[in-house]
Amino acid sequence: MIDEKLDSLFLNIKNDCMNLIREKDVSLEEISFALGISSREFISNFQTRIKDFSFYLETYRILMEW
């Protein structure tokens, strides 16, 4: 139940982040830098859901304000 909820939350945020990256043409290197991680880690975090959801919320926040 919780896993399903978190998976769905992850997918929704991921889609919104993708749309913002696309709309604003944000470079993966730049957004990763702003988050304080490498672009490799950024990509990996979006490939498989990580436990620390603050990463997704922070990514979305930064992308909104980009």
Place of tokens 């919104």: 16
Q: What is the DSSP string of the chain?
A: -HHHHHHHHHHHHHHHHHHHHHHHT--HHHHHHHHTS-HHHHHHHHHS--S-THHHHHHHHHHHH-
Residues 15-54, one symbol each (x = binds other proteins by CB under 8 A, - = not), give -x-x--xx--x-xxxx--xxxxxxxxx-x--xx---xxxx
- Minimum Å gap between C-beta 17 and other proteins is 9
Place of tokens 């896993």: 3
- Interface with other proteins: number of residues (CB under 8 A): 42
Give yes or no for residue 11 binding other proteins (CB under 8 A): no
Footprint of other proteins on this chain (CB under 8 A)? 1-3, 5-6, 9, 12-14, 16, 18, 21-22, 25, 27-30, 33-41, 43, 46-47, 51-58, 60-62, 64
